[in-house]
Amino acid sequence: MPSDHTPQHDPLERIFAYRVFDLRDRFPQPLETFRQALECLQSDNAYLPDMSGEIVAYLRGGRAVPIPEHLFIRQAGHSASVVQKNENDRVCNAVEAWLRETLSQENEDMVNASTVRPSRLNILLDQCDPNAPEPDDIQAW
């Protein structure tokens, strides 16, 4: 007897790659899983990941979803740190649940993938004064 409803597609199938950002952009290669991306931030190659670490999920169709950093970076007062490797299973499960929820509905968390750059770069750019005079060394050059 045929089923009355069609099978639901897993929203995570919309993701084709993950990208890791750190302050020096040391991880330009796309990664297959969130766990691989998280392990990049936990590696010795990451530059100030607690201050600049970001992970973005790229979707089929040209969209992208920045994953909230509070899921993989712990804040304690004025200090921050990437979660410890022994927390990876829990963090990956939490991110997977967040992505399923986010991808099951179109929302403002999704952005055009071609415009993705680290949000902390946007914060720095917002703090810059576009009308500030150029330093003398730049004018001399």
Using the predicted structure, report yes or no on whether residue 123 has a pLDDT greater than 80: no
Token reading at 104: 């099951």
More confidently predicted of 2 and 67: 67
Q: Report pTM.
A: 0.72
Question: How far is Cα of residue 51 from the mean position of the Cα atoms in its chain?
Answer: 13
The pLDDT, as a whole number, for residue 93 is: 97
Q: pLDDT tens-digit profile of 1-37? A: 444 444 468 899 999 999 999 988 899 999 999 999 9
Instruction: Kindly state the DSSP code that residue 23 receives in the 8-state scheme.
Output: T
